[in-house]
Amino acid sequence: MPRLLHHLSLALVALSASAAPPPNIILIVADDLGYADLGCQGAVDFDTPHLDRLAASGTRLTNYCSAASTCSPSRAALLTGRYPDRIGLTEDLLPSPTVDADQSDPGSSGLPSAEITVAEILHQAGYATACIGNWHLGDRADFLPTKQGFDRYFGIPYSNDLGWWHGRPNGENSHLPPIPLLEGVRIVETSPDQRYLTQRYTKKALTFLAGHRSKPFFLYLAHAMPHVPIFPSPKWSGSARYGLYGDVVQELDASVGEILDGLKTLGLEDNTLVIFTSDNGPQLTKAPHAGRATPFREGARTRFEGGYRVPCLIRWPGHVPAGKVAEGLMASIDWMPTLAGLASAALPDDHTIDGLDCWSYLSGKSAESPRDRFFYSPWVVRMGSLKLFLPGNYREVSPQSSKADAHGMVNHGESRLFDLSVDPGETHNLAPTQPEKVTELTALLKAFQEELKPPPDAAPDPGKPASSSNR
């Protein structure tokens, strides 16, 4: 809290007499859920009736992009409204060699303390705030949610594969500490039985809702599933024709149903904005324990649409159109200014916020999204339906040529231009026939590169294991 004192304008609340009271906000984020992993978006061999109900009673965004195709950068961007390259967090964070959340000399790996999260913005506007689930933005005390605007935290501080886990294969990740389960900054359990994480997170969420009926709240519920290793509870094991992956998605769906029913029981349904999405696309290298991104190409850790285009459902009765399919472009970085606007909270004036306030579009007052462009990295940009890749090395899980190196990196010596409106699979390069568009979009990328501080590296090292830093 002390680090926000210099942001004098942050706590301004200026609701007009005619404005609706600020809504409660629930942001539910699955881990590695694919675009096609909802029934309303074509899921096969497993069912998501509660998520489908959420879509039917609210709005489904079909052109929504995460700001990164891997965990830590995507979560940092979601919470700050800033591109990962601007934050300087473009790699997944690993656990500290020894997890000691109470130590006074924290490590250096985490969301920088100078960054301002949406939880801090909302907290200053009078919201009670809670983070439940996967954090993955630093596991030392100074990086945990309670130092980033959240009143309370319960969960594991990184992805559920980064350490020993209940029932793990012998020797796997034995060089890492046991996975800790935290309450605030205190380790309350090690190597928790992951079969029950979804249930435990849901129960904690419902308890938080029940205890905060009298003031606005922001709940960030970040599930561990369906990130590998995947664990359904005994109740859901064997429930889906798709196998284990389908089991855990159906359990996640049931969790969403419990949250929606809990809101109704508590009389909070009409004044709560519910958002459901995923941190990035599916980890296709983990198939069959992975989802699908159909009709998009590739998945997590790539710059193709399958890694970025993720499910997004929103509902706020009477404020968000019901049964609507919104096709305008929107990105996860847009939630920070959008939610701040709903709370009439001022954004920090000394941080560049890349997100845009999309409420007029989401509420149906505007027919078009304010976002017309999106940067996948300093070397990949989308303007309208056109997406340009500058020449360079790019990771491909399923290369369409034999040019991939041992790390899955493919070198492309020329620019590639795709029209996503007719080519969602990004297979037909238009660059040779539309050189003027290549020039236009290249100029956007060069300007973005110049704007970033510190500037991006000249090129990724193809000799290193592929990560989110690939072009």
Q: State the DSSP H helix or E strand holding residue 159, giving kind and residue range, or none if neither.
A: none
Contact 369, 436 (CB under 8 A): no
Question: What would you measure as the largest C-alpha separation in the chain, in angstroms?
Answer: 63
Q: Which residues contact 94 (CB under 8 A, 6 or more apart)?
A: 109, 158, 162, 176
Helices then strands (H, E): number in the chain? 10, 18
Query: In angstroms, rounded to a whole number, what is the distance separating the alpha carbons of residues 299 and 70?
Result: 10
Torsion of CA 357, 390, 459, 91, to 10 degrees: 40
Distance CA 426, CA 298 (A): 10
Task: Give the angle 172-174-179 at the CA atoms, nearest 5°.
Answer: 95
3-state helix vs strand vs coil in the chain, percent to 5: 25, 20, 55
Backbone angles phi, psi at 73, to 5 degrees: -60, -40
Is 78:335 a contact under the CB 8 Å cutoff? yes
Answer positive or negative: Cα dihedral of 360, 363, 367, 371: positive
Neighbours of 190 (CB within 10 A): 15
**Cβ proximity of 299 and 34 under 8 Å:** yes
The encoded tokens of residue 60 equal 């489904």
Residues with catalytic annotation? 71, 136
**What is the bridge-based pairing of β-strands 180-183 and 186-190?**
antiparallel
How far apart, in Å, are the Cα atoms of 165 and each of 29, 281, 423?
Answer: 22, 23, 41
* Alpha carbons 329 and 460: distance in angstroms, whole number: 28
